[in-house]
Chains A and B, each alone.
Chain A
Amino acid sequence: MLKDITLGQYFPGHTLAHRLDPRTKLLAVVLYIVALFCAKGVVTYAIVMAALATCILVSRVKLRALTRGLKAVYVIVIFTAVMNMFFTGGTPVADVWLLRHITFEGLRTAVFMVLRIIMLIMGTFLLTYTTSPIALTDGLENALSPLKKLHVPVHELAMMMSIALRFIPTLIEETDKIMSAQKARGADFESGSIFKRAKALVPILVPLFISAFRRADELATAMECRCYHGGDGRTALHVLHYKAADYLVMIGFVVLTVGVIVLARMGF
């Protein structure tokens, strides 16, 4: 059950999408999102969609893995679609009952909005599927390092993020284990009133918190033993270097975004 959560899971691979510098991928995703939000009509959407399709093909991530990530947002997608369908002004679809409130413009917006959400999620998931959490935080730290001048604790934030990411699967596994152990003693999480179900969580949360604190404690000790003292003067094992492919991909995405913005302005 909990194992189905793939949020931010990394699928190792050796494709171009995996080898790119994480900073390039971060920039590409930002540009992609800008393009996605600027897209207005069929042509611009098609261009962005084509870009996404190319990336998916290159990365060889299975479409099923990407769509599974959408499970979490079904409700939002449906809600958005329905809202847009009913509350956009314009020409009604037909003059009968409910259809009177649905406009052609509303349908159009609904389709575009749904596409936008799905593509937004797929694009960002593609990033986490092809980039290991470590590479991602390294990239983020590096990309944000100019902010250090403004006394933003970039390194500490990146470290917190990588520790958090590192422990998500561990904690999920731990939760699974504790749930199984309590189920083996007859705990019931699936039936009863909301109040009863909330109460049923206590046997999971107490051991989970205890183990999280224990792990945090152990990790702090282990880091101290290895003389960790924050970001000052710290060097990296994997120094990030842009390669030719990185520049090409960056140029590609800049062209994509600028192109989409221009086309959208022209009304496509």
Chain B
Amino acid sequence: MEPILRVENLTHTYSAGTPFQRNAVEGMNLTVMPGEFLGIIGHTGSGKSTLIQHLNGLLRPTSGHIYLDGKDIWAQPKKIRDVRFQVGLVFQYPEYQLFEETVYKDIAFGPGNMGLDKDEIDRRVREGAAFVGLPEDVLHKSPFELSGGQKRRVAIAGVIAMEPKVLVLDEPTAGLDPQGRENILAQIRAYHKSRGTSVVLVSHSMEEVAQNVDRIVVLRDAHNFMDGTPRQVFARAEELERVGLDIPQVTKVALALKRRGLPIDTAVYTVPELERELLRLKGGAV
């Protein structure tokens, strides 16, 4: 199967020619398959945000290429807006981008820019709001009257309403309480399931990514560090720990048991998996 998005040898240099010059991303490669739920993980400053701003053409590569459906997105720079409708990007703290008088109008901003007719916009706004669990009566309120978590949902709905082929979310749960986090993640999962489009979840929490995605890409110091299924990535849990990246609590327990001499497989990241692994060991030991 052809990847829907392909990043090839991407390098981006900030402040070229000043004492502040630095490469935020260096020789990076990435593919996103159709319908895939991909997680991107890395510390602050690992190049996550820079990378994803290339996916929809907000940043132009210093060198390298980005292909959407096999076509270089910068082949026709005038058409870059079309790319932005197909790769929907939800920024970190997206609630600060709200500006309209009503929630409805704010969600309609993206679809409106696409030049859709009124009925289609109306359908998309209501669908987008439903995906993020916003009740109907909120639609006619001012976005500034809402709570922080609700504002964020409005902002996410605003991107979902563009019906992008790939939805990219940069730390969608930052600054929310545990309940709010789980709600938003559950809604994203439900969205991915029912729409079947690709979703890219950027986060610095391994836990969050491990529970949700099909494949994880780990970034470190502007480079790709690992790329694989959660199992493959957490099989290298010790390496992750060594470079200071967080690993899921369950994996930590497995790792600690291994250090105490138990021949356990550390590539586990959910409680049922660990349970199964422990039972297997117990059965084998008898």
Residues of A within 8 A of B (CB): 3, 11-12, 62, 64-65, 177-178, 180-188, 202-203, 206-207, 210-211
Contacts and interface: CB of A to CB of B under 8 A. Distances in A.
A183 B84 CA distance: 8
Interface residues of B, number: 28
A206 B109 CA distance: 14
B233 interface: no
Contact of B85 (A12, A186, A206): A186
Nearest to A181: B97
A188 B99 contact: no
16 contacts: A11-B18, A64-B17, A180-B91, A181-B94, A182-B97, A183-B84, A184-B84, A184-B159, A185-B110, A185-B113, A185-B162, A187-B109, A187-B113, A188-B113, A203-B97, A211-B96
Nearest to A11: B19
B99 A203 contact: yes
B84 A186 contact: yes
B130 interface: no
B81 interface: yes
Given A177-B91, A182-B97, A184-B56, 4 more contacts: A178-B96, A181-B94, A184-B84, A184-B90
Contacts of A184: 56, 58, 84, 88-91, 159
B15 A3 contact: yes
A203 B88 CA distance: 18
A178 B94 CA distance: 9
Interface in B82-110: 84-85, 88-91, 94, 96-99, 109-110
A190 B156 CA distance: 25
Contacts of B19: 11-12
A89 B35 CA distance: 75
B53 interface: yes
Nearest to B17: A64
Contacts, number: 64
B255 to A, nearest CB: 38
A186 B99 contact: no
A64 B56 CA distance: 32
Contacts of B91: 177, 180-181, 184
Contacts of A64: 17
B97 A65 contact: no
Nearest to A12: B19
A180 B53 contact: yes
Interface string B1-44: 00000000000001101110000000000000000000000000
A27 B159 CA distance: 54
Contacts of B84: 183-186
B3 to A, nearest CB: 21
Contacts of A202: 99
A200 to B, nearest CB: 10
B159 A65 contact: no
B257 interface: no
A177 B88 CA distance: 16
A181 B113 CA distance: 14
B262 interface: no
Contact of A186 (B18, B90, B98, B110): B110
B59 to A, nearest CB: 9
A188 B81 CA distance: 8
B158 interface: yes
Nearest to A209: B99
A186 B96 contact: no
A186 B97 contact: no
A207 B97 CA distance: 6
Contacts of A187: 109, 113
